[in-house]
Structure 1
């Protein structure tokens, strides 16, 4: 297939050599023109970790970093780890393990503290946090918001981005304001699984054509992602690893070169401080 004359970044996907396709998925991404990946650790329980203290998350983070190193070797660009605690863990802790919301909050914040160690050492690029995308009791919601605010405090301290898993919304200005109150610029707050229109954080747009059309028409900074889950029981979910480079080809065919530059060069630099052109080996 004809090479693309642009970096191509998938801003949010998972890789799981143990239970999924691992580097085979990276190869699919590369063959279609993909160059760079931001790899988010899978939820801890998906990697058989039932955490009881912050240090228990370390095994999840270490496995993700190792996988990212292997992915970088397979790419013409490189991959970076994004580490954190999936907000759905709060329900697992409260509903299945009899944690109080406050105890769940404390454990999840401790896990974020461990993730921050890797960012501080230069071994990870950004943090991941958020709150449940489904209805939960008020006390669990408040605890989840406390966890997210803690992530923003760490992001401010480390001058790094924070990717968020939240409810579907096109207006998260209040959440962006929490980040600013903590000392983070709102552009470094990234809403994963976003639509093409979002107030507040930087949207990481799911790479479906209708969402991308909206993002292009909006003309604001955005990123592109698949949220590929790399689960052998759910092949291709949520979107497959070939999707972002395919959508970039489609966008270029539509004449949207400026939008491609925005999503794959300018916004990654503004949000994460990464240079997707300088890190290309070809």
Structure 2
């Protein structure tokens, strides 16, 4: 904790085998971090070249294992967020020869398997989205269909969806799609967001300028690093110490209400988690 507040990183990755893994969690905890939402790494980064939805199962199971190990290092706990990285569609189409419809079917199958883990309580939320780079119309349509499947599953499960998508300050069309299948907008989270976003809840990259905008806006938001735990890119995107450091900076600059918003109130509203009661020293 930092000055009595929980500290949650809403989106980072941990490599269970090839890089820092639990050492990154220890760095986070040492600086005052208490809670983590750990998103599975892209399936191909864990050696899985999926041909069907079932092929994602070992990716999810391995992620759950490292999340359990991470929880043991924290004053609070960690939760898994499971799903299919939207960049997989380009890998399937451009490198492996699938057409976009076939690629979309594989990815929707992965979402369905991830939903099983949420249903049995082993995961907290789903991950989906669409490419943040230019793609042709067929790939774009197939990607949106995958994202809509995630919304359908999340609505059934009453869980949240974290989205990897293009940079934007306005994504109300996406939350309208979610609402159409029964998933309220506050259950849709845009990862790697700026401080201002209409539609989904922004998971703000923990850079000072973005956080200042989010604090001034006064709306629900979360904080993240998108730490990728990649041996080829050490420290990318932001390091695991960043969120605790930024929380300390926010408190020193009188942004106490924004800290409570990001680390207590918004996690409860979006995910149904209580970051205060899950502290060992509540």
TM-score (norm 1): 0.99
Alignment of 1:74-89 (within 5 A): 74-89=73-88
**Aligned-pair CA distance for 1:17:** 2.6
**Alpha-carbon distance in 2 for matches of 1:243, 1:203:** 17
Per the alignment, residue 16 of structure 1 pairs with 15
**Alpha-carbon distance in 1 for matches of 2:40, 2:137:** 27
Q: Deviations over 1:163-198 (max 9, x none)?
A: 000000000000010000010010000000000000
Per the alignment, residue 6 of structure 1 pairs with 5
- How many residue pairs get aligned? The number is 281
**Aligned-pair CA distance for 1:211:** 0.2
SS of the residue corresponding to residue 74 of structure 1 reads: coil
**Alpha-carbon distance in 2 for matches of 1:179, 1:56:** 26
Per the alignment, residue 260 of structure 1 pairs with 259
SS of the residue corresponding to residue 70 of structure 1 reads: helix
Residues 4 and 33 of structure 1 are in contact (CA less than 8 Å); yes or no, is this contact kept in structure 2?
Answer: no
Per the alignment, residue 109 of structure 2 pairs with 110
Structure 1 residue runs of 4 or more that deviate by more than 3 Å after TM superposition: none
- C-alpha spacing 1:253/1:184, structure 2 compared with 1 (3 Å): same
Residues 2 and 248 of structure 2 are in contact (CA less than 8 Å); yes or no, is this contact kept in structure 1?
Answer: no
**Aligned-pair CA distance for 1:20:** 1.4
**Alpha-carbon distance in 2 for matches of 1:200, 1:8:** 24
Task: Show structure 2 runs of 5+ residues with no match.
Answer: none
Per the alignment, residue 233 of structure 2 pairs with 234
Per the alignment, residue 147 of structure 2 pairs with 148
**Alpha-carbon distance in 2 for matches of 1:136, 1:65:** 32
Residues 32 and 246 of structure 1 are in contact (CA less than 8 Å); yes or no, is this contact kept in structure 2?
Answer: yes
**Aligned-pair CA distance for 1:4:** 3.1
Coordinate RMSD, CA, aligned:
0.7
Q: Deviations over 1:133-186 (max 9, x none)?
A: 000010000000000000000010000000000000000000010000010010
**Alpha-carbon distance in 1 for matches of 2:279, 2:270:** 19
SS of the residue corresponding to residue 10 of structure 1 reads: strand
Per the alignment, residue 96 of structure 1 pairs with 95
